[in-house]
Structure formats: structure tokens, C-alpha cells
């Protein structure tokens, strides 16, 4: 976790894609969250929701 935090603080233009089941830690270093879920009667998963934490004042 410390490595991800230090990388995220290096430059605002860095993009990190983190796949995690640890929601609390993932949100601690995120400014945008994409929710991925299965869709009924379809194989695989897709992005079902995008949450902008900056707009919500949460980061």
C-alpha cells in the first residue's frame, strides 16, 4: 500500500489502475472509481458505474 501511495503522489498526471477487493484501501488513493460487475445473460464483466470522488469532495 505504501508504494501505491508514494507513486500516486509523484505527479498528478500518473494513472494507476488498481483491481482490488479491499475497498477502503483502494478509495484512499483514488479520485475516480469504476464499478465492474457481471451483466445478466452475458459473459465477462463490464464497467457499470463511474464515481468521481473529486466532484463529491471526497478526495
Helix (H) or strand (E) holding 28: helix 23-28
Contacts of 25 (CB under 8 A, 6+ apart): 1
**Range of 28's domain?**
2-52
* Residue 45, in any domain of the structure: yes
* Residue 57, in any domain of the structure: no
* Residue 44, in any domain of the structure: yes
In order along its 59 residues, the chain shows pLDDT tens digits of 788 778 777 877 777 788 888 888 888 888 899 999 998 888 889 999 999 999 999 87
Contacts of 50 (CB under 8 A, 6+ apart): 32, 33, 34, 35
* Residue 33, in any domain of the structure: yes
Chain center to CA of 22: 11
- Quick check: pTM over 0.75? no
Longest Cα separation, the chain: 42
- Provide the number of structural domains found in the chain: 1
Amino acid at each position: 500500500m505504501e508504494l501505491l501511495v508514494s507513486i500516486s503522489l509523484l505527479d498528478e498526471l500518473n494513472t494507476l489502475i488498481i483491481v482490488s477487493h479491499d475497498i477502503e484501501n483502494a478509495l484512499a488513493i483514488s479520485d475516480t472509481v469504476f464499478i465492474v460487475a457481471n451483466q445478466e445473460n452475458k459473459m465477462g464483466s463490464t464497467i457499470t458505474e463511474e464515481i468521481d470522488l473529486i466532484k463529491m469532495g471526497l478526495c
